[in-house]
Chains A and B, each alone.
Chain A
Amino acid sequence: MTKRSYINGLPLVLLLSGMSTPAFAGSEDVVVENAWSRASIGVNRPGAAYMTVRNTGEDAVTLTGLTTPLAVMPEIHESKTNADGVSSMAPADEITIEPGQSVALEPGGLHAMLMKLQEPMTEGENFPLTLTFSDGGKVTVEVPILGIAARGPES
């Protein structure tokens, strides 16, 4: 488990060491773990990606947006199910992560909604997803594409 997280975080660490500058207040301490997504059928349906965003620093960070070459309109959305069992989905507000805290993007809750796919999401491939923070910092993570029926990063 620990080993896996470490391996997942490795490309990010390498990436951050190349781009981080002291100008950012907080987002250089963001670690993205266990990113995964499901394969798509073609490009007409939106895709979704999941991950845990952890703030290891001492300042709160606010996630304001996403970019990826894979989709024209990537946004953070939130699915909710009400007392009558009705599910709905809407764009999420900005997400602030307090020092030492993490936010889970997981099925049935917050997720990176990938609208207007530029190409199909093919099982076994990866795509880069960049998280933008309010301090101007960016964190890019490689998201593995699992099968359509995947239930989590381990399946």
Chain B
Amino acid sequence: MQRRHVVQYGAAGVGAVALMLGVGWWRVDGPGAPKPAGQRPLPLSAMDFRLTDHEGNEVGPETLIGRPTMVFFGFTYCPDVCPTTLSDISGWLEDLGDDAARMNVVFITVDPERDTVEAMAEYVGYFHPAIRGWTGPANQVARAAEGFRASYERVPTEGGDYTMNHTASVFLFDAKGELVTMIDYHEPREFAVPKIRRALTEDVEGAT
């Protein structure tokens, strides 16, 4: 009688452990795992894409290695979030003063159909001079977004136009191209600027 209970408890225990393992697998590796959009960006050295900057130069992830880098995605037909992000970044760069000149600051469009090199040149001209605008063929923009684990999606609007949903975080890399941290959209300046300084400091440590 007693022995039978032990067997029953044992079976229940094995079942519980199997269930927990199953739940663990589901969350970490299985269908319940976080989607790629939530993953950390690759190091710049592991990315592969070819774009054109707003002055017509060919650029890619290797262009950014050697200096600390700030990258964000957006599009110039965006009336609210993108000019706000660009204004925020312009403000952070003003706070950094001369240090801003030691950084790459890159705005990659998720709407290459409308954001030609000329459109990017005109748009970035209104913000901090350190900000570079990158565009290119749709498949290369897609590869760039994949490397940064950024996502974007075209959404039709009334009147036949369209808007873009897109990752609005700002990515910070050190001079070696390793991710330092990310700045969320609307993160206050008192948090954002120290994060950028961290990327700049890691550059100094890396150099010594």
Contact = CB atoms under 8 A, between A and B. Distances in A.
Given A87-B168, A108-B84, A150-B87, A81 B185 contact: yes
B77 A84 contact: no
Contacts of A113: 79-80
Nearest to A78: B80
Interface residues of A, number: 32
Nearest to B186: A108
B169 A108 contact: no
A65 B157 CA distance: 17
Contact of A149 (B86, B151, B163): B86
A85 interface: yes
Contacts of B166: 86-87
B122 interface: yes
Interface string B161-203: 1010111110000000000001011100000000000000000
Main secondary structure of the interface of B (DSSP, over half): mixed
Main secondary structure of the interface of A (DSSP, over half): strand
B79 A46 contact: yes
A85 B76 contact: no
Interface string A79-101: 10101111111010000000000
Contact of A79 (B77, B81, B90, B158): B81
A77 B80 contact: yes
A45 B119 CA distance: 11
A47 B90 contact: no
B188 to A, nearest CB: 12
A7 to B, nearest CB: 24
Nearest to A47: B79
Contacts of B77: 44-46
B80 A86 contact: no
Given A87-B166, A88-B165, A108-B185, A147 B126 contact: yes
Contact of B83 (A84, A85, A87, A148): A148
B80 A41 contact: no
B206 interface: no
Nearest to A72: B159
Contacts of A114: 79
B88 interface: yes
A66 to B, nearest CB: 14
Contacts of A77: 80
A73 B86 contact: no
B165 A87 contact: yes
B79 A149 contact: no
A64 B38 CA distance: 36
Interface of B: 35, 37-38, 76-77, 79-81, 83-84, 86-88, 90-91, 122-123, 126-127, 151, 155, 157-159, 161, 163, 165-169, 182, 184-186
Given A38-B83, A88-B165, 10 more contacts: A41-B123, A47-B79, A73-B158, A81-B186, A84-B35, A87-B168, A89-B80, A108-B81, A114-B79, A147-B126
